[in-house]
Amino acid sequence: MKTIPVIMSGGSGSRLWPQSRSLYPKQFLPLVNDQTMLQNTISRLDGLNSVSAPLVIANEEHRFLVAEQFRQMGRKALAIMLEPVGRNTAPAVALAALKALNHEEEPLLLVLAADHVIQDVEAFHQAVEAALPAARNGKLVTFGIVPTHPETGYGYINASTSFEDKSAFIPVRKFVEKPDLEKAQSYLASGNYYWNSGMFLFKASRYLEELEKFRPDILKVCKKSMVVQDTDLDFVRLDEDVFKACLDESIDYAVMEKTTDAVVVPLNAGWSDVGSWSSLADISEEDDAGNATLGDVILHDTRNTYVRSEKKLIATVGVDDLVITESDDAILVAHKNQVQDVKKIVERLKQEDRSEAKLHRKVYRPWGAYDSIDAGERFQVKRITVKPGARLSLQKHYHRAEHWIVVKGTALVTNGDKELLLTENQSTYIPIGEVHRLENPGKFDLEMIEVQSGGYLSEDDIVRFEDTYGRV
């Protein structure tokens, strides 16, 4: 019986702003090592028996990020299913189950989040292997994290026996919401409450049976939205108009809290959902004063502080219990016990329609990336990188002209009815309204500087005539 990993890659990670943005959230960032959170989740599957390539559920707007991170690893996904709108985990897992049954006769689904940290991969593998017999016998397995402290930020699973029970899996008594501190302390003391990890293992068919029993309305919409699937490059698109009608509900509410076949497998593997800067600090290496740092950082008379530098030197003097982190266009300074409120900053940025809520200064595209390095009245300067063999859309602009200067590599440029091959230190000028395209015909990255000039320089001034990536 084949196991198909289902990686849930939605979410915006707003509490990890300014690094995490809605169009480039935490699962695509290298927060704990050189790999991104998504790539770590993929790598964590290595060594598990009878496991297929993963099936990924992602937001439409993140599709190229997912595909690029698989490409960087030299791997292929079984499928990248795109949700036209977010409708929580119950519909997402239903879509995955329906898709999985098209690939295997009776597959197991190992449902994972793309943005979790698991430090002990061997212990994770052992827990999955221990859960397999129960899942094969029709149980719906959830992985309960053995708690290390009275945490108020997680939901809990109340198991029928305590941690001392050495059974591979234990019947679930009930799921409980995030508690206050007093309740969390009592849960820890009782010995039979686990943190709810949001990871599951079950037969695809059993999940659909239970969803049919408890929420047939959700299953009906999911089936209908998959009647006509549009396969585009690496992606599977659903019927947007149909799926929008689906109710927003978690797998816990829809199925796990209602089924009589839920069991929990204890997992003690250094797990964290990295839901805030303080939780990231908790799993980071600390110095003797309790400080954790990354990047170019100098500390003086500083204690219990997390400092993350990506571009600039950060120096601290005489501070305690802070989180300090900078990205290419923003700096956050927060007290450790108030990092949950970072999302309020993000809400305000959204209310003011500021780009810092959505994008970084460096923006990734399917063909590469651009970095807005300077801007002023009627001009903008970008550093553009185009991957080998990639090309931008054939396009024109109504409000801006562009100068292109090649810094590294070779550029094949369509400029009106002319086609130019430009190499290092060569340039061309694209007048307003001229149809143009940029390609990299070489084997190495193309790097160039683009100087835009005109009265309107926003990204929506693009008229596409042809596009390799289906964006016309």
User: Alpha-carbon distance 163 to 48, whole Å?
Assistant: 25
AA letter at 298: I
Classify residue 209 by burial, with Cβ atoms within 10 Å: 0-12, 13-18, 19+.
Answer: middle
Q: What is the pLDDT of residue 163?
A: 54
Q: What is the pLDDT of residue 132?
A: 95
pLDDT at 166 exceeding the cut of 70: no
| C-alpha of 391 from chain center | 25
Reference 135, options 32, 214, 74, 204; nearest CA is 204
At 236-262, the pLDDT tens digits run 888 889 999 999 999 999 999 999 999
At 284-308, the pLDDT tens digits run 999 999 999 999 999 999 999 999 9
Q: What is the 3-state secondary structure (H, E, C) of the chain?
A: CCEEEEEEECCCCHHHCCCCECCECHHHCCCCCCCCHHHHHHHCCCCCCCECCCEEEEEHHHHHHHHHHHHHHCCCCCEEEEECCCCCHHHHHHHHHHHHHHHCCCCEEEEEECCCEECCHHHHHHHHHHHHHHHHCCCEEEEEECCCCCCCCCCEEEECCCCCCCCCCEEEEEEECCCCHHHHHHHHHHCCEEEEEEEEEEEHHHHHHHHHHHCHHHHHHHHHHCCCCEEECCEEECCHHHHCCCCCCCHHHHHHCCCCCEEEEEECCCEECCCCHHHHHHCCCCCCCCCEEECCEEEECCECCEEECCCCCEEEECCECEEEEECCCCEEEEEHHHHHHHHHHHHHHHHCCCHHHCCCCEEEECCEEEEEEEEECCEEEEEEEECCCCECCEEECCCEEEEEEEEECCEEEEECCEEEEECCCCEEEECCCCCEEEECCCCCCEEEEEEEEECCCCCCCCEEEECCCCCC
pLDDT at 424 exceeding the cut of 60: yes
What are the φ/ψ torsions at residue 7 (nearest 5 degrees)? -100, 115
Please say whether the beta carbons of 45 and 2 come within 8 A: no
Range 416-443 average pLDDT? 97
Using pLDDT thresholds of 50, 70 and 90, give the confidence band for residue 228.
confident
- HSE at residue 471, side-chain half, CA atoms within 13 A, is 19
Which residue has tokens 């190992």?
A: 110
At 336-373, the pLDDT tens digits run 999 999 999 999 999 999 999 999 999 889 999 999 99
Q: What is the pLDDT of residue 469?
A: 84
Tokens of 86: 């977010």
Q: What is the pLDDT of residue 152?
A: 87
Paired with 145 in beta bridges are 195, 267
At 387-410, the pLDDT tens digits run 999 999 999 999 999 999 999 999
Please say whether the beta carbons of 90 and 68 come within 8 A: no
CA angle 371, 445, 61 (to 5 degrees): 50
Any residues with CB less than 8 A from the CB of 300 and at least 6 apart, and which?
A: 315, 316, 317, 318
Q: Which residue has the higher pLDDT, 162 or 333?
A: 333
AA letter at 353: D
Beta strands 368-376 and 379-386 are antiparallel
Please say whether the beta carbons of 326 and 312 come within 8 A: yes
Which residue has tokens 């993000």?
A: 346
Using pLDDT thresholds of 50, 70 and 90, give the confidence band for residue 472.
low
Domains and CATH numbers, the chain: 3-272 (3.90.550.10), 280-344 (no CATH), 362-466 (2.60.120.10)
Any residues with CB less than 8 A from the CB of 46 and at least 6 apart, and which?
A: none
Any residues with CB less than 8 A from the CB of 310 and at least 6 apart, and which?
A: 19, 295, 326, 327, 328
Range 447-456 average pLDDT? 96
pLDDT at 470 exceeding the cut of 80: no
At 188-223, the pLDDT tens digits run 998 889 999 999 999 999 999 999 999 999 999 999
> What pTM does this model have?
0.90
At 51-110, the pLDDT tens digits run 999 999 999 889 989 999 999 999 999 999 999 888 999 999 999 999 999 888 899 999
pLDDT at 127 exceeding the cut of 90: yes
Using pLDDT thresholds of 50, 70 and 90, give the confidence band for residue 168.
confident
The b-or-e profile of 315-354 (16+ CB within 10 A means b, else e) is ebeebebbbbbbbeebebebebeebeebbebbeebeeeee
